[in-house]
Amino acid sequence: MSDTIEKAPSSGGAQKVSQINEVVIRIAGNSQDGIQAIGGFLARLAGRSEQEVMTFMTIPATISGGASIFQVRMGSGEVLSSGDEADVLLAFYQHSYDAHLASLKKGGIVLYDSDHVVPNEDLKKTYHHLGIPISGLTVEAIGGTAKDKGKNIFALGLIAKMFDLNMPKLEKLIGERFTGKDPSILNNALAAFHAGHANPLGNVLETFKFVDAQKKDGHQVVMNGNEAIGYGLIAAGVRFGAGYPITPWTDIMELLRRELPKYGGCFIQTEDEIAAISMAIGGSYAGRVAVTGSSGPGISLKTEALGWAIMAEMPLVIIDVQRGGPSTGMPTNIEQSDLNIAVNGGHGDAPRVVIAPANVEDCFYMAIEAVNIARKYSVPVILLTDQGIATRIEAFVEPNLEKVCQDISPDFTPIADHKPYDLSNANGISHHVPPGTKINSGKYPIVTGLEHDELGHPTGSPKLHMQMTAKRRKKLQALAATLPVPKIYGPSEGNVLLVGWGSTEGPIKEAVDRARAAGDSVSSIHLKHINPLPNGLENIFSGFNHVLVVEMNDEGLYGFGQFGAILRARYCDPKIQGINKTDGLTWKVKEILERTKTNLSAGLRKI
């Protein structure tokens, strides 16, 4: 939020209304309190108000209950990250207050449930304290039976009051959320909401109003990364897949299981991840690109079958929602440490495609891109996301579904002849012909993981192994030639180029903005095509003295993160260095800036 949130003395005791561009609200409590629901309402309201929004949440590691937070940043201008510091902290319990006050910026407002929280008197000077007996007032508003239910909606009313949010829109959202249920539930929710909104907000001297957002072309939709991938796959025409539950991938398989039947498809829950990828490959073999996915250890289990799909040249989409590893690792934390397994996992020379969305909108469109690359190049494509992007809610311009949705039904038209591993194309590309297709020559293809001749029959020929290995590589080189060179954020020449991939685009861009505002020469690029890389990156790197690869993974034995090491190997350029971290949390903008500074022994050259 702009500096105006700093407490300003009001004239004549009336609350002052300040115009703001954006705000970061952190809601802290237990997961069963419906914290995600408040965040979700705010995010969707922002989407409907043509505002930008980004959220961040922690999934409690325990099954039910457990401390949980939801942070939402909404604003009239561009919102790049979920925010380093909160402007407002809503604390439901003592532990929420104690653990999260440090995330509040100095002078920020802590709104706490005075039925549960005893504030620290010493901190009252640093943060503006506003205690409201949220639990008690909620019970008062909706009757004593509901115990703790409804206090999230009461708190939403408080926030609506504080930020002068659009009441009819929020009421509509609440109505939509509680439709179909017992009408008394909706009535209670609305009662709690209005009671919250009617609260005089005690000693708060100032309320806020967003400046009008720029008109967006078209409506916005609001969803998280996992949902965007699920719906992207459906739009891409995927109608079959298989998976095994594991956080944070599970949401995608649940969505597909639930949604695909509407389109005549199905998603199968298998006995394990090996069966899941095998079944998906079987589905692809049967004629229509299928999907599987996992997180953490489940990805390790899939590697043998992935190698088969590469060898047999089967199209396939594999979603990897990264989490902290290795092994069971940090299931609900964020990490970008699967890049190596995505790019190289498995035995043998096994080139596959790896692409990584940078935001929720990308998740939707890149799911479609993954399907199309898989089909065109007959190759497995790994869509690499992470826990952060999976659960983060963002608003983006609604896709034109009529245009975007594609039909990839298999074609069973009889053909004269077919070689599944045709070597005649210089670019190595050949196509899969599914069973059901009559081949008039009477010679039918076998797809196989053994090294093979052009018809798929096993061979021990050194020459064929060389040719086929090159074929599998060449098609990725052909793909590389078609990939767009990433746009540089900031000037194309300067001192420092930050390089990112995956979910870190927002904080990196914001770091560039802040550095440049402070007079430092920093630009960034963000790579979405990881393997193969687009051509021409060397021309970008040559414009900078330092190329720093910002990643959420370990610096490795030799001092470079996983992507950093790939770029160093690819470009043999010693100015490529890494900025890495393994705390399981998203990058804060200030962390990136501090680490950039310490990384450059010479310090930043002023523009």
Identify residues 305-364 at the interface with other proteins (CB under 8 A): 305, 308, 312
571 binding other proteins? (CB under 8 A): no
Residues 433-452 that bind other proteins (CB under 8 A): 434-440, 442-450
Residues 254-273 that bind other proteins (CB under 8 A): 259, 261-266, 268, 270-272
Task: Specify burial of residue 353 (Cβ count, 10 A radius: 0-12, 13-18, 19+).
Answer: buried
Q: How many residues bind other proteins (CB under 8 A)?
A: 76
Query: Per-residue x/- mask for other proteins, residues 111 to 150, rule CB under 8 A?
Result: ----------------------------------------
Quick one: 399 or 534, whose CB is closer to other proteins? 399
Query: Per-residue x/- mask for other proteins, residues 202 to 221, rule CB under 8 A?
Result: -----------------xxx
Nearest Cα neighbor of 422 from 442, 445, 450 is 445
The CB-of-47 to other proteins minimum distance in angstroms stands at: 7
Quick one: 233 or 522, whose CB is closer to other proteins? 233
Give, as one character, the DSSP assignment of residue 584: S
| Residue 104 near residue 26, CB atoms below 8 Å | yes
Separation of alpha carbons 485 and 540, rounded Å: 9
Q: In what order do the strands lie in the sheet with 576-580?
A: 522-527, 494-501, 544-551, 576-580
Give the CA count within 13 Å in the CB-facing half-sphere of 329.
27
Quick one: 292 or 580, whose CB is closer to other proteins? 292
Give, as one character, the DSSP assignment of residue 44: H
Query: Per-residue x/- mask for other proteins, residues 413 to 432, rule CB under 8 A?
Result: xx------------------
The CB-of-284 to other proteins minimum distance in angstroms stands at: 8
* Residue of 231, 377, 501, 560 interacting with other proteins (CB under 8 A): 231
Quick one: 204 or 281, whose CB is closer to other proteins? 281
Separation of alpha carbons 248 and 539, rounded Å: 37
Which residues make beta-bridge pairs with 21? none
Q: Which residue has the tokens 């300040």?
A: 18
Separation of alpha carbons 139 and 162, rounded Å: 21
Residues 175-194 that bind other proteins (CB under 8 A): 176
60 binding other proteins? (CB under 8 A): no
Residues 279-298 that bind other proteins (CB under 8 A): 279-288, 290
Quick one: 118 or 286, whose CB is closer to other proteins? 286
Separation of alpha carbons 328 and 12, rounded Å: 59
What is the longest distance spanned by two Cα atoms in the chain? Answer: 93
Nearest Cα neighbor of 505 from 323, 360, 604 is 360
409 binding other proteins? (CB under 8 A): yes
Torsion of CA 343, 587, 25, 15, to 10 degrees: -150
Query: Per-residue x/- mask for other proteins, residues 452 to 471, rule CB under 8 A?
Result: -----xx-------------
Quick one: 133 or 449, whose CB is closer to other proteins? 449
* Residue of 242, 318, 373, 496 interacting with other proteins (CB under 8 A): 242
Quick one: 20 or 281, whose CB is closer to other proteins? 281
| Residue 526 near residue 505, CB atoms below 8 Å | yes
Q: What's at 483, amino acid-wise?
A: L
